Amino acid sequence: MLSGLTGSVVQTIGLTAAVADFPVPVGALVSIDRQAGEQVEAEVVGFRENHTLVMPLSNLEGIRRGSRVKLVRTSRTLKVGDGLLGRVVDARGRCIDGRPQPMLRQRLPLEAPPLVPTERVRIDTPLGTGVKAIDGMLTAGQGQRLGIFAGSGVGKSVLMGTMAKHTEADVTVVALIGERGREVNEFIQRELGPEGLARSVVVAATSNEPALLRVQAAYAATTIAEYFRDQGKNVLLIMDSVTRFALAQREIGLAAGEPPATRGFPPSTFAILPKLVERAGRSSTGSITAFYTVLVEGDDENEPIADAMRGLLDGHVWLSRKLAERGHYPAINVLGSISRLMNELSTPEGKQAAQIIRELLAVYAENEDLVTIGAYRKGANPRLDAAVAMRDSINAFLCQQIGEQYTLADAQQQLVQLAAQVSVNPVAPDFPTETLENPAA
């Protein structure tokens, strides 16, 4: 029986405090007495020799040698309920939007196990995101997990806001992990708006907060999404960013004494990533469709976190700085992106249309330099002729003005009509035409 167990601080080591005579499990929530003021909440992160290592959820100021440490709970839980809709909460589930705290009677574990593989329902129903390029060329399904990979400043926040506002999901849960403080309110007011916030829950842990709270915010958002999924809802979970979640775990791991491995990341960082993303998915009652943004350092596709996430997800959406600089929004590099479930989710006409447009984009990309300098002569390559002729129409389809709303049906219909223009073009005889001669068939 651990209730009422106490210990005392004997040493501080960087961001952690060593506690003697305190045999409590890793992950337990404890409180530490200060020299003056309120107690400090902390979490047990490991052991070293005969001491228990705890990391405060605020700072170590006011803690002295001999400060009493008391066990609060052996596991962390979160209060959840329908009252969270339309609210902005912190990593501990407390509303921070200035309105009264909602009455939440149910508690769920913060780190719940993922669905049993044999209980996962097959993903066979598409989910509209409100982004035309994704719905047409990278169709996502209810319960699918995708990554949005990009460097800084290429439009991730605007893309997230568009999806949160215009998705066909019943509920949206947005996790803002490690963001600058001003960006939280800007995202809520400018990108999400009152309409999007009304059916959303925003979980925020800014960059100045301790690493434990940044990690906990990701778990809290996933727990909230699981609650609504178990109520029979189709949930869209958007997490920005999983890279900052990994960086926070790196802080915790190094503070607990883990050796750095890949580019300074300890092994625990790569161990918790699948535990987080595997919690999304489709069950017999509802679904969690998850988009995780991944900050790519120096636009390096092989950056450790990006490389690990690509292997865990069911697809990735790559945002191009080159397209962003041209004012192409959303700056999705279709050729570098993929939805691994699109073949099962899209109609035969939609799949063939997407393949035709993708092939035209690839042909143009291979010969762009020749076309730009005027070295290409029309008629030498029918496929390139078609790519050049359709260039503006394809870009018009892939672009979307901020605030424009498209349904999944609208996006796929426009895509099929666009590909049908290629099928009747006499300079592109090599493209298949069987299913595109009558797009409405």
326 & 252 share domain:
yes
- Tell whether 56 and 81 lie within a shared domain: no
Same domain, 104 and 54: no
Q: Which of 73, 94, 128 is the last residue of a domain?
A: 73
Mean pLDDT in residue range 191-204: 90
pLDDT at 190 > cutoff 90: no
**pLDDT tens string 372-414:** 887 777 877 888 889 999 999 999 999 998 878 899 999 999 9
Evaluate whether residue 234 is within a structural domain. Answer: yes
Residue 436 in domain: no
Q: How many domains does the chain have?
A: 3
Residues 183 and 311 in one domain: yes
> Same domain, yes or no, for 219 and 170?
yes
Say yes or no: 272 and 332 in one domain. Answer: yes
Q: Which residue has the higher pLDDT, 380 or 32?
A: 32
Residue 429 covered by a domain: no
Whole-prediction pTM value? 0.90
Same domain, 50 and 126: no
User: Do the beta carbons of residue 321 and residue 331 sit within 8 Å?
Assistant: yes
Q: 93-134, pLDDT tens digit by residue?
A: 999 998 999 999 899 999 999 989 988 999 999 999 999 999
Return the CATH number at 64: 2.40.10.170
Q: Please indicate, yes or no, if residue 437 is contained in any of the structural domains.
A: no
212 is written with which tokens?
A: 């434990």
* Residue where a domain stops, chosen among 343, 366, 388: 343
Taking all residues of the chain, what is their mean pLDDT, rounded to a whole number?
Answer: 89
Both 384 and 315 in a single domain? no
Q: Can you give the residue range of the structural domain that contains 31?
A: 5-73
**Domain shared by 277 and 331, yes or no:** yes
Shared domain for 52 and 86, answered yes or no, is no
* CATH of residue 409: 1.20.1270.330
Is residue 439 situated within a structural domain? Answer: no
- Does a structural domain hold residue 440? no
- What is the rounded distance in angstroms from the CA atom of residue 15 to the CA atom of residue 384? 59
334 lies in the same domain as 393: no
Residue at 435 is within a domain: no
CATH assignment of the domain containing 231: 3.40.50.12240
Q: Tell me if the bond preceding 241 is cis, omega within 30° of 0.
A: yes
Residue 135 has pLDDT above 50, yes or no: yes
- pLDDT digit string, tens, across residues 161-178: 899 989 999 999 999 999
Domain boundary among 25, 54, 73: 73
Same domain, 259 and 326: yes
